[in-house]
Amino acid sequence: MEIASLSRSARIWVTGHRGLVGSAVVRRLQADGFSNILTVTRAELDLRDQAAVSKWVRTNLPQYVVHVAGKVGGILANSRAPADFLYDNLLLHATVLRAAYEHRVEKLLYLGSSCIYPRECPQPIREESLLAGPLEKSNYGYAIAKIAGLLSCQAYREQYGCNFISAMPTNLYGPHDNFDLETSHVVPALIRKFHEAKQRGEQTVTIWGTGTPYREFLHVDDLADACLFLLEHYDAAEPINVGTGEDVMIRELAEIVREIVFPDAELRFDTSKPDGTPRKRLDVSRLQALGWKHRRGLRDGLRQTYEWYRAQSSPC
Ligand code: GFB
């Protein structure tokens, strides 16, 4: 979707530009001819340091901020480190939103996540369900920090008139994801597990949990497209869901990845690992009513991601 009115020379800061989402947003901005994309590495700027962030924003004066930096991880990483996920993500949004207010950023987009909705809520999940019930235990640290970020955007809008908007993306996957088997999310983990089993001549691939939860998956290039669509068309205080509106059982996901990567593999389920939320399919009708819809289906997206992973992991 062509971004019409954002000037191609506007100074747009993409935080977390090396990560799964940040790198996709930068790719998309570059493809659309934006010539003033601002990025800064973690080594150059610790986003948890308010004084340093305010100084960097004062020096670089971004007009727009796509704030997608975060401490993220899969179900095991989150369940093992709630304090760290809470601390880092709280600071990451507190500093950037404050500096954006101080230096009159014209518009800021902040990303939450579908995993911050209550563990048990009506499916598909509408934006109104936020805070309507107890959180999922496996990632409450991350969830509380992200909820605080969403509410901070609303508070800056209310108190200072800042045009800070927030989106709630579903589970994401794609190139430049984290493929570490302990800390990653399910899609990169399965791609790597099937790939390495095939390479090693191992017949069995272990899937965590029972395989019965459902998950919705959006390719990160579609998310990047949605981010820029929202930057262009959305100015409301309420968070807005971003997803495909379709989910798949984890067992079925594993069977699709097996078909793509290693059809002869056998599945084994390690029920000592957590299942997490039983289901968290998003109601994406509000975003679709605004005129946005995802383009890449799951099989196509998984195939594209595997091709990228295989190219990255093959010896040069
Ligand atoms: O992707 P995932 O780690 O995160 O797990 P969540 C999704 C489902 O896949 C769970 C199962 O039921 C896992 O048990 N699964 C099966 C696996 N095999 C694997 C595997 O090898 N690795 C992983 N990681 N999962 C996250 C939150 O929840 O959602 C984060 O913890 C984040 O905060 C993310 O917000 C979007 O979907 O359960």
pLDDT tens, position by position, 207-244? 999 999 999 999 999 999 999 999 999 999 999 999 99
CA of 251 to the centre of ligand 1 (A): 13
Q: What is the pLDDT of residue 2?
A: 45
Segments forming the whole domain that contains residue 125 = 11-177+218-246+279-296
Catalytic residues: 142
CA of 188 to the centre of ligand 1 (A): 10
Residue 316 banded pLDDT, cuts 50, 70, 90: low
Query: Is 251 within the bounds of a domain?
Result: no
**Index of the ligand 1 atom closest to the CA of residue 207:** 18
Residue 4 banded pLDDT, cuts 50, 70, 90: low
What is the mean pLDDT of the segment spanning 260-272?
98
Contact at 8 Å (CB) between 52 and 98? Answer: no
Distance CA 263, CA 203 (A): 10
pLDDT digits (tens, 9 = 90+) for 74-90: 989 999 999 999 999 99
Residue 86 to residues 22, 155, 166, Cα–Cα distance (Å): 20, 20, 19
Check which CATH number belongs to the domain holding 55 and give it.
Answer: 3.40.50.720
Nearest to 167 by CA among 102, 123, 229: 229
Residue 297 banded pLDDT, cuts 50, 70, 90: very high
Q: State the pairing for strand pair 171-173/214-219.
A: parallel
pLDDT above 50 (res 198): yes
Confirm whether pTM is higher than 0.85: yes
Number of domain units in the chain: 1
Query: Is 150 within the bounds of a domain?
Result: yes
Distance CA 41, CA 83 (A): 24
pLDDT digits (tens, 9 = 90+) for 91-101: 999 999 999 99
Residues with CB under 6 A from ligand 1: 74-75, 78, 113, 115, 138-139, 142, 171, 184-186, 189, 207-209, 213, 215, 250, 273-277
pLDDT above 50 (res 10): yes
Q: What is the pLDDT of residue 161?
A: 97
- Specify the 3-state DSSP secondary structure of 246: coil
Contact at 8 Å (CB) between 242 and 293? Answer: no
What is the mean pLDDT of the segment spanning 163-170?
98
| Sequence letter at residue 159 | Q
pLDDT above 70 (res 245): yes
Place of tokens 């959180």: 135
H/E stretch holding 25 reads: helix 20-31
What is the mean pLDDT of the segment spanning 130-152?
95
